[in-house]
Structures are given as structure tokens and as C-alpha cells.
């Protein structure tokens, strides 16, 4: 019942709106359309007259009588009759329409006067270059100006007293795109002027500095209504002149009458179609409302399944999608509550892992410091107890060595702290990467010989990069130290340098030994993290070197990483190639 009520209400409102709008359109068409059309046409003529005045004045300045062609072109373009009046409101005789024939080596001009000329007297489709026959009377002694009597009458007998000229059209300006019988309309201008221009109207027009006077005039013979406009201007000599234009309003009346008849036939169809569309529209609007109501009822009962989604881009579709999203969010919230304990347990395990890493860090640092401190203390006590003289030098040397080791550990920790607070500034320059690698290998030559490692791929080409030499040397030292420490005795230590891409140099340090667990590949760059859990200070390291390497390479914008290979582990990093010679 409610559904039908909504449909009926929507139908009644929509149908009423359609009928009211249609009625208003009919009323506006009957009352205002003709008036609007006339006003628009008069405004267009007025604007064109103001533009014509300037063009006409310039044409007359260049050549006397040069404005006559502009007059004809204006009348064709605007479907209006136009005349230039002198200061006495008399039409200045101008014959804008003409034909020029090239005949027997001479040019014959044939003015087309509005008096006694009809549009059907001219053949259709005249163009420059067409042959044409004109019968008429020459008006000058040179036989160059002819008053036409018959045009295009080739084949008919020549009337007595007339002269026939056969030739080719050299130039022409004839009525085009104008209302029926434009010559007759042009000839009515004198009658319209005499009817309109009373003495008071003359004074009113003469007093206008600018602007346009308007009126409407009805031809008493044909009953056709015309819009008449007059605007003042000055000619090339500064004398007062007036433009007088007339345009027929007959097409407007005919169009309005035809439109009224058309609307009378169309009105029942529009009303019937509006009622049908209103009913369809009402049902279309009501249907999604009913579906949304059913969905809302299920949501109120916490039933989140089976929601009817409306697939449309309007507000109903948006509301349906929001309700669907709400039901999914509520269902997801219930699922999240069920998984809360699982997530909480994972968070606890993560915190425990972090705590284990922290404890391991403390244990590593304590071990790394405790062992050399115990050694230093033992040897110091031996010196204090007065050991034999032959042992003093060895004890002192060991004390210095262990002190240096503790100092190196502390310096690494301080260095890492500087990187973490971003207090390190690079000093990049053009350096030889090959020289740095050779220098680092010489520093580890003793350890390489001690583990009987085979060195492969030592670069012999000169690779130059743009980097901080001190920091890149630190990277190489840490990577080589890590590779040698974890290399299998008697295994291979390989260093490879190549161009990985235009402008990029890739350096790889690979050792032959046990691989790193896949779970540890991304973690070994963390500070104090060691893939090998042994606390043997001679093989496990402190876990600071790779963290320092990561910070240095990050500052260089390098791409770096680690991967397991077929025979061991490979660390790699890239540097920007220097602009100098590459090899």
C-alpha cells in the first residue's frame, strides 16, 4: 500500500509539472515569440547598420560612388532594403545591383533599377563567365550603359527600338538570399519614408547624436509588415547623412502561424507521452526505495548477508553502495573482534622478539667488552706482580691490541649513532673504485692467507665513480671483513665490478661458504642483528658493520642487497659512474 502511495504521489507531481511547463511554453510562444523574433531581427539590423556606416564612409573616401557595391552586399547579407538619405531625408539615388558584360572588346554596364524590375526577370544561377543576352536601350553616347528590358531572352525576336547585347558576364551583383521580389521591396522605401517621417519625427531624428529610431510600416497594397530603422552618421565630407533600412516581418508571422498549428497537433501527443513517462518515472524511483527499505530491515536485525545492491550512478545507487559498505564493515568488524586475540598475540611476539634482540645486543656488547677487559686485567696484574722481563713486551702488546679492539667497537657504535641521527655529510668526489678495492684487499691479505682463501675476479680495469672515498672504503672494508669471516677455509673470495646500466657501476663481493637463511636476508642490515647466533667474537662479529654499510650506501643513493648463490653469499651495491674515462 505504501509502495503504491509513493508511486501515485510521484506520478501526480511529475505529471502536473510536465503539464504546467508545457502550458507555460505554449503561453510564452503565443504571447512573446513573435515579439521576441521581431526585436531580435531589429537588433541585428541595427548592429549591422552601425558597422556599415563606417565601411560606407571609407569606401566613399577612396572612390566616389564606391559605396554602392557595399550597399548591395549589405542587403543580400541581411535580407533588408537599405538606402542612404541626405540631410533633407531624401534618398540618394544609388543602384547597387548591376551586371557587367564583356562584349566585342567593350564592357557594358547594366544597372538593375528597383523600379520596374522583378526578381523573376533575372535568370537563376548567374555567375561570372556565363554567357548572357540582354535587350535594352543604351543610355550614353559610348554605348556602355544600358537600361535593360529583357535579360536572357536569346532566341526571341528583338523588339522594335531595343538593342541586343550578347556577351560574357565580367562582374555582377544581384539579389541573393532575399525575400520574394526584393526589387519591389526596395521600391517601397520612398512610400515608407513619407508615411513615417512627420515633421516631429524629422526633428527627433535630427536631434539624435547617435542611436537608432525604429518603427513598423505596413504596405497598403500587399499588407506586408516591415520593420523600419533609421540611424544618423556623417559622410566623408562631414555632412549629415542617415541610413534607412527596411526588412520584411512577413516570414515571422508565417512562422508563428505555422508553429501554432504544429503545436495544436503536437499538444495531445506531448500530454499523453508526458503522462506515460511520469508513470514510468514514478515506478523507477519507487522500486529502489522499496529495495533499500528491505535491506535496511535486514541490517536492523544484524543480518549482513544478501544485501540487494542497486547498480546505478545516482543517489539511490550511492546510498545502496554505502549500505553495502556499512554491512561489510560491520561484518568485518565482527571478524576483527574474533581475530583480536590472534593479532594481540602477534604483537606480543613481536615485542618479545625486539626484546630478545635488545638483550642479545647487550649480551654482545658485554661479551665484546668483557673478554678484552679480562685479558687486559690479567696481563696488567701479571705486570703488576712483576712477571719476567721476557714477557713484559708481549703482555704490553696484547694489552694494546685488546684496547684497540674495544676502541674500534666503541667507535663503530658512535659512528652508527651519527648515521641514525643523520649527522653524517658526504664529501663526494671522482675516485678510483679499483684503487680502493686493491687497498682493502691488501689490508686483509694476512687474513686471506690465514684462511687459505683463493682470490678471484680482482679488477684490473680502472673503474671511476662519484662518491665519498672515505665512506666507500669503509663499505669495502666491512663487506670484505664480513665475507672473509664467514668464508669456508680454503674457499674462494670473488670480487666483480661491471657496468650494470648506463652511468651505474655494480660491485659484488661473494664468498664461498654457508648460505644465509631466507628469513634473515632482509634482517642482516639491522644494527646488532647477526644471522649467526654464536657469540664467538672471532667469527660472529658485533652486527654493526652491515648496519653502517646500509646507512652509507643509502646516503649515496645506491641500490644494494644480499643474495644466496650456488656456492655461497654475495653482497652487491651500485655507484654512479664518474664523467671521466670509465676504463
Rounded Cα gap, residues 215 and 196, in angstroms: 8
pLDDT digits (tens, 9 = 90+) for 23-38: 777 777 667 777 787 7
Higher local confidence (pLDDT), 255 or 568: 568
Higher local confidence (pLDDT), 415 or 168: 168
| 464 in a structural domain | yes
If you ran DSSP here, which 8-state letter would residue 468 be given? -
Q: Which helix (H) or strand (E) holds 135?
A: strand 131-138
| 434 and 548 assigned to the same domain | yes
- pTM of this structure: 0.44
| 392 and 443 assigned to the same domain | no
| 37 in a structural domain | no
| 358 and 392 assigned to the same domain | yes
Reported as a pLDDT band with limits 50, 70 and 90, residue 1 is very low
In 3D space, the residue among 554, 538, 547, 425 whose CA is nearest the CA of residue 478 turns out to be: 547
pLDDT exceeds cutoff 50 at 533: no
| 242 in a structural domain | yes
pLDDT exceeds cutoff 90 at 571: yes
| 334 and 353 assigned to the same domain | no
Reported as a pLDDT band with limits 50, 70 and 90, residue 420 is low
| 140 and 185 assigned to the same domain | yes
Handedness of CA 278, 281, 282, 283 (dihedral sign): positive
Window from 124-128, 372-376, 487-491, 498-502 with minimum mean pLDDT: 372-376
| 214 in a structural domain | yes
- Among 224, 248, 272, identify where a domain stops: 248
Higher local confidence (pLDDT), 537 or 397: 397
- Among 318, 338, 358, identify where a domain stops: 338
How high is the pLDDT of residue 564? 92
How high is the pLDDT of residue 581? 47
Provide the residue range defining the domain that includes 237.
80-248
| 152 and 243 assigned to the same domain | yes
Higher local confidence (pLDDT), 558 or 22: 558
3-state helix, strand, coil in the chain (%, to 5): 50, 20, 30
How high is the pLDDT of residue 537? 46
Q: At what angle do helices 469-486 and 433-443 cross, to 10 degrees?
A: 40
Mean pLDDT over all residues of the chain?
A: 80
| 500 and 386 assigned to the same domain | no
How high is the pLDDT of residue 116? 67
| 470 in a structural domain | yes
How high is the pLDDT of residue 536? 43
| 325 and 348 assigned to the same domain | no
Reported as a pLDDT band with limits 50, 70 and 90, residue 225 is confident
| 5 in a structural domain | no
| 208 and 356 assigned to the same domain | no
User: Where residue 489 sits, what CATH number does that domain have?
Assistant: 3.30.565.10
- Among 211, 233, 248, identify where a domain stops: 248
Average pLDDT over residues 456-482: 88
| 555 and 503 assigned to the same domain | yes
- In the chain, the number of structural domains is 4
Three-state SS letters, 153-164: CCCCCCCCCCEE
| 201 and 164 assigned to the same domain | yes
Rounded Cα gap, residues 400 and 398, in angstroms: 5
| 143 and 222 assigned to the same domain | yes
Cα distances (angstroms) measured from residue 183 to each of 80, 143, 145, 242, 259: 11, 25, 20, 21, 29
How high is the pLDDT of residue 574? 94
pLDDT digits (tens, 9 = 90+) for 189-200: 888 888 888 878
pLDDT digits (tens, 9 = 90+) for 275-330: 787 777 776 676 777 677 777 777 766 666 666 666 666 666 777 777 777 777 77
How high is the pLDDT of residue 368? 65
pLDDT exceeds cutoff 60 at 410: yes
pLDDT exceeds cutoff 60 at 3: no
| 356 in a structural domain | yes
How high is the pLDDT of residue 403? 80
| 42 in a structural domain | no
Amino acid at each position: 500500500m505504501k509502495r503504491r502511495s509513493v508511486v501515485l504521489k510521484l506520478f501526480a507531481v511529475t505529471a502536473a509539472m510536465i503539464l504546467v511547463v508545457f502550458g507555460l511554453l505554449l503561453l510564452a510562444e503565443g504571447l512573446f515569440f513573435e515579439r521576441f523574433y521581431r526585436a531580435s531581427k531589429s537588433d541585428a539590423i541595427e548592429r549591422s547598420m552601425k558597422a556599415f556606416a563606417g565601411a560606407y564612409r571609407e569606401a566613399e573616401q577612396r572612390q566616389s560612388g564606391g559605396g554602392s557595391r557595399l550597399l548591395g552586399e549589405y542587403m543580400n547579407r541581411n535580407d533588408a532594403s537599405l538606402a542612404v538619405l541626405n540631410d533633407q531625408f531624401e534618398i540618394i539615388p544609388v543602384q547597387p545591383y548591376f551586371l557587367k558584360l564583356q562584349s566585342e572588346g567593350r564592357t557594358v554596364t547594366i544597372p538593375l533599377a528597383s523600379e520596374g524590375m522583378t526578381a523573376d526577370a533575372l535568370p537563376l544561377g548567374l555567375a561570372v563567365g556565363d554567357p548572357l543576352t540582354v535587350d535594352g536601350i543604351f543610355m550614353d553616347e559610348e554605348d556602355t550603359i544600358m537600361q535593360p528590358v529583357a535579360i536572357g531572352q536569346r532566341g526571341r525576336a528583338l523588339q522594335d527600338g531595343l538593342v541586343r547585347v550578347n556577351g560574357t558576364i565580367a562582374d555582377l551583383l544581384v539579389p541573393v538570399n532575399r525575400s520574394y521580389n526584393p526589387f519591389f521591396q526596395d521600391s517601397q522605401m520612398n512610400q515608407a519614408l513619407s508615411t513615417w517621417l512627420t515633421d516631429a519625427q524629422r526633428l527627433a531624428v535630427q536631434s539624435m547624436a547617435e542611436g537608432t529610431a525604429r518603427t513598423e510600416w505596413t504596405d497598403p497594397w500587399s499588407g506586408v509588415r516591415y520593420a523600419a530603422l533609421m540611424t544618423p552618421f556623417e559622410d566623408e565630407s562631414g555632412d549629415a547623412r542617415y541610413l534607412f533600412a527596411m526588412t520584411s516581418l512577413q516570414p515571422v508571422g508565417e512562422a508563428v502561424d505555422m508553429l501554432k498549428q504544429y503545436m495544436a497537433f503536437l499538444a495531445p501527443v506531448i500530454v499523453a507521452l508526458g503522462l506515460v513517462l511520469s508513470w514510468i518515472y514514478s515506478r523507477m524511483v519507487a522500486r529502489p526505495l522499496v529495495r533499500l527499505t528491505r535491506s535496511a530491515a535486514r541490517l536492523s536485525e544484524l543480518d549482513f548477508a544478501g544485501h540487494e545492491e542497486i547498480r546505478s550512478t545516482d543517489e539511490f545507487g550511492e546510498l545502496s553502495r554505502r549500505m553495502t559498505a556499512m554491512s561489510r564493515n560491520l561484518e568485518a568488524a565482527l571478524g576483527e573482534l574474533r581475530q583480536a586475540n590472534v593479532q594481540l598475540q602477534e604483537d606480543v611476539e613481536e615485542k618479545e622478539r625486539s626484546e630478545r634482540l635488545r638483550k642479545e645486543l647487550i649480551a654482545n656488547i658485554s661479551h665484546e667488552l668483557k673478554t678484552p677487559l679480562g685479558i687486559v686485567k690479567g696481563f696488567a696484574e701479571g705486570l703488576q706482580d712483576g712477571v719476567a722481563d721476557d714477557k713484559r713486551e708481549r703482555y704490553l702488546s696484547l694489552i694494546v691490541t685488546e684496547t684497540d679492539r674495544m676502541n674500534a667497537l666503541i667507535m663503530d657504535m658512535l659512528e652508527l649513532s651519527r648515521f641514525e641521527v643523520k649527522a653524517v655529510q658526504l664529501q663526494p668526489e671522482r675516485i678510483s673504485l679499483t684503487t680502493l678495492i686493491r687497498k682493502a684487499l691488501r689490508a686483509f691479505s694476512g687474513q686471506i692467507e690465514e684462511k687459505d682463501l683463493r682470490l678471484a675476479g680482482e679488477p684490473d680495469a680502472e673503474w671511476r665513480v662519484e662518491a665519498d672515498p672515505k665512506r666507500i672504503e669503509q663499505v669495502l672494508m666491512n663487506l670484505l671483513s664480513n665475507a672473509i669471516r664467514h668464508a669456508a677455509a680454503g674457499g674462494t673470495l670473488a670480487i666483480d665490478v661491471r657496468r650494470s646500466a648506463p652511468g651505474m657501476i655494480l660491485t659484488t663481493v661473494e664468498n664461498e661458504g654457508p648460505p644465509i637463511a631466507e628469513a634473515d636476508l632482509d634482517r642482516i642490515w639491522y644494527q646488532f642483528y647477526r644471522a649467526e647466533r654464536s657469540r664467538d667474537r672471532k667469527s660472529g662479529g658485533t652486527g654493526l658493520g652491515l648496519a653502517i654499510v646500509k646507512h652509507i650506501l643509502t646516503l649515496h643513493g645506491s641500490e644494494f642487497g644480499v643474495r644466496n648463490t650456488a656456492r655461497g653469499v654475495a653482497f652487491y651495491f651500485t655507484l654512479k659512474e664518474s664523467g671521466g674515462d670509465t676504463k
